[in-house]
Amino acid sequence: MLSVTLLEYTRDSQKLVASAAKLCYSDKKVADLSAGISAESASEFVDMLSEMGHESPMEHASFTFGIDGVSRSLMAQITRHRIASFSVQSQRYVKASEFEFVTPPAIETDEEAKVEFYAAMENARKSYAKLSDILVKIQKERLLRDGVSEEKADSMAQKIAIEDARYVLPNACETKLIVTMNARELKHFFLLRCCNRAQWEIRGLAFQMLKLARRVAPELFKNAGPRCVSGDCKEGKMSCGKAKQMRGIYLNDIDSI
């Protein structure tokens, strides 16, 4: 089950962003830049930056999220956002004999599809376990022939075996990751992934991340969300046609949803 935590973030990020922007137009020393910036003026400065499209100062503020209960399919999508740092639970080193999995809502709500899907997950578990056992035996025999002690061969064979056994694991496998993005990249992430055309799982993740980010940096993320929230939809004939509804969600208190 999806769980998102804001692990760390730049404190007073809005003042930092305002200071960085102010530097571009000031002859003051860097250490003196923030002296005259109040919370109110920082908010106004951030608003002005957004209106001007001068977003590079936002890159100085970063946000780190802990994410549990998402699929390997989602991981393939989120890692396409390249201006970010990712740490992911490894299937090379973490045995997945009893892996949890993410079930798409369309499958969860149809009994026939659900039975088929759960059977596929169980078959994957069995294949993974059987392959692991076969590969452990192969690797242990090889290590013993190479003169490795039996105790060490046991341990090494287990680790080597799951490297290859993982190839039968499905995209639905749950994983965990820690993600760090700067504020500018986060806004871009929300622009793409909060859109109704985004895949359902990453859209749900983006919505939860936005709620957490807006809670600690409301001015930075005030108009964040899909493109239609702050401008025109660019999806053309693929548009969901729900711009008004989306603005109602994202420009109000999304914490209450």
Q: Which of 166, 193, 214, 227 is catalytic?
A: 193
How far is 79 from 51, CA to CA, in rounded Å? 29
Query: What is the distance between the alpha carbons of residues 190 and 187, in angstroms, rounded to a whole number?
Result: 5
Tokens representing 53? 């499209």
SS3 of 70, please? strand
Known active-site residue 184: no
Least Cα distance to 106 among 95, 117, 91, 122 occurs for 117
Alpha carbons 99 and 121: distance in angstroms, whole number: 9
Helices (H), the chain: 13-23, 39-52, 72-78, 105-108, 111-145, 150-165, 183-193, 200-216, 227-230, 243-250
Please list the active-site residues: 193
